[in-house]
Amino acid sequence: MPVQLGVVGKPNTGKSTFFAAATLIDVKRAPYPFTTINPNIGVGYVRLKCVCKELGVKDNPRNSICINGWRFAPIELIDVAGLVPGAWEGRGLGNMFLDHLRRAPALLHVVDAAGATDEEGRPIKPGSHDPMEDVVFLEREIAMWMYQIVYKDWERVSKLIDLQRKYDELYARFSGLGIKPELVQRVIDELGLQNKRATSWSKEDVLQLVTAVRERYKPIIIVANKADLDPAEDNIKRMIKELGSRYKVIPTSAEAELALKKAAKAGLIEYIPGESDFKIIGGLKPEQERALEYIREKVFKRWGSTGVQNAIDTAVFDVLGMIAVFPVENEKKFTDHQGNVLPDVLIVPGDTTARGLAYIVHTDLGENFVSAIDARSGKRVGADERLSHRMVIKIVARA
Ligand SMILES: Nc1nc2c(ncn2[C@@H]2O[C@H](COP(=O)(O)OP(=O)(O)OP(=O)(O)O)[C@@H](O)[C@H]2O)c(=O)[nH]1
Ligand SMILES: [Mg+2]
């Protein structure tokens, strides 16, 4: 299953526009709160330098796309309804819908960096709301959501923990959020909670635990959207300055990215996602020309790119520390058994070993694993050796 990124934030910040731009799925988008009710799930792409040029081959990608030496590997995006302050207590659409985000190891927090919406997502004059407030609020809502999951039925659960002298019941709550027991244990130790009987843990103790676990194992990336609007410029500079040590802050214009992708699809322009410009190739109507000129002026000149691709790449590679590997069956020709050159690229955790990769490809391959070969050097890779980013690898297995 591809890695999933959750798209979250208060209403009306451009979450669905970001999702549509990344997946080209035509979801409902509108300038008012609670446009999205049910989650949208779709395939987006993470971008990396393909190995085709370096190896001097023409590739035939199967699970991915290669454009001008850039490989686009599939990831999954999930766009959910907007959160308002107090959602954890049932305000707005509540926070039950966050349950859809359990599987996502990282969250893209789409912020209205132009301050063009109030704390509930209602449109206001751009520049009149401070987007930094939204960062604080969202973190609290996410923490309260996790807190409710963990703290549910706490009296019974904490008694059981003390009785069994084991945290199994607690681990089970976190594993539902995709977080492994050993990681939870590490945070319990760090906070010194193991010295206290679970029945005497305060609400604050549990809140501190879920917050620390969330920060480490469900990181948030700030997508500073509507960066094309003038008031966003100062806000984004301030956000990078004040939040940059705790978060990656990526300026984006989801609206611009969506317009460019649509124009490219219609054959009006040439545009590679993530690039800092586009080329006009079709006949444009005056309003299309104006729209593209606006993007050049307000997005590319200011920020270098629309940021949508950058946000995904930053989340997957920098924040989650994942790597891309190219499995092949013929290590001399870099092909699969049908002769496709560099057919697949897999996005895997950064600590994946050769045997681990075999298991990711197929359980049978993992079980019959013998060794692996680094196709670039022709050298053997040990079963427990960690793979590196952009490695081309052949797995040798018993027939
Ligand atoms: N100027 C500008 N407007 C944007 C940008 N991205 C989205 N918008 C506008 O913001 C409004 C809300 O967009 P949506 O994508 O529906 O927002 P949402 O966060 O999914 O909203 P809910 O589903 O209601 O929570 C729409 O009018 C979009 O056109 C952007 O990059 N720049
Ligand atoms: Mg939406």
Residue 181 lies in a domain: yes
Would the CB of 14 count as within 6 Å of ligand 1? yes
pLDDT score recorded for residue 388: 97
Domain residues for 82?
4-126+219-318
Residue 119 lies in a domain: yes
DSSP 108: E
Residue 375 lies in a domain: yes
Residues 223 and 206 grouped into a single domain: no
Residue 139 lies in a domain: no
Average pLDDT over residues 152-162: 94
Q: How far apart are CA 43 and CA 365, in angstroms?
A: 26
Residues 314 and 340 grouped into a single domain: no
Residues 179 and 195 grouped into a single domain: yes
Average pLDDT over residues 87-111: 89
pLDDT surpassing 90 at residue 130:
yes
Mutational pocket test of ligand 1: of 7, 10, 13, 97, the residue with most ligand atoms within 8 Å of the beta carbon: 13
Residues 191 and 306 grouped into a single domain: no
Higher-pLDDT residue of 86, 209: 209
* 172-183 residue pLDDT tens: 999 988 899 999
Are 251 and 113 in contact by the 8 Å Cβ rule? The answer is: yes
pLDDT score recorded for residue 211: 94
Between vectors from CA 111 to CA 105 and to CA 117, what angle results, nearest 5°?
145
Would the CB of 29 count as within 6 Å of ligand 1? yes
Residues 168 and 121 grouped into a single domain: no
Ligand nearest to the Cα of 92, by number: 1
Residue 132 lies in a domain: no
pLDDT surpassing 90 at residue 90:
no
Residues 312 and 382 grouped into a single domain: no
Nearest CA to ligand 1 atom 9: 14
CATH number for position 70: 3.40.50.300
Ligand 2 centroid–CA 37 distance in Å is 7
Q: Which of 273, 294, 318 is the last residue of a domain?
A: 318
Q: Which of 210, 239, 263 is the last residue of a domain?
A: 210
Q: How far apart are CA 341 and CA 56, in angstroms?
A: 11
Residues 169 and 103 grouped into a single domain: no
Of 137-151, 304-318, 332-346, 367-381, give the lowest mean pLDDT range. 137-151
The token duo for 375 is 């196709």
Q: Which of 318, 338, 365 is the last residue of a domain?
A: 318
Residue 88: band (very low, low, confident or very high) from pLDDT cuts 50, 70, 90: confident
* 41-87 residue pLDDT tens: 999 999 999 999 999 999 999 999 999 999 999 999 999 999 998 88
Residues 181 and 46 grouped into a single domain: no
Q: What percent of the chain has pLDDT over 70?
A: 100
Residue 87 lies in a domain: yes
Count of domains for the chain:
3
Residue 158 lies in a domain: yes
Ligand 1 centroid–CA 82 distance in Å is 11
CATH number for position 334: 3.10.20.30
The token duo for 283 is 């006949």
pLDDT surpassing 90 at residue 13:
yes
Average pLDDT over residues 337-348: 97
- 16-25 burial, b if ≥16 CB within 10 A, otherwise e? bbbbbbbbeb
Residues 152 and 295 grouped into a single domain: no
Would you call 384 exposed, middle or buried from its count of C-beta atoms within 10 A (0-12, 13-18, 19+)? exposed
Average pLDDT over residues 105-128: 97
Residues 90 and 110 grouped into a single domain: yes
Q: Which of 329-335's residues contact partners 24+ apart within 8 Å by CB, and which partners?
A: 329/394, 330/394, 331/373, 331/375, 331/378, 331/392, 331/394, 332/375, 334/55, 334/57, 334/375, 334/392
Ligand 1 centroid–CA 175 distance in Å is 33
How many residues can be counted in the chain? 399
Would the CB of 117 count as within 6 Å of ligand 1? no
Residues 116 and 21 grouped into a single domain: yes
Residues 198 and 88 grouped into a single domain: no
Q: What percent of the chain has pLDDT over 90?
A: 91
Residue 52 lies in a domain: yes
* 311-334 residue pLDDT tens: 999 999 999 999 999 999 999 999
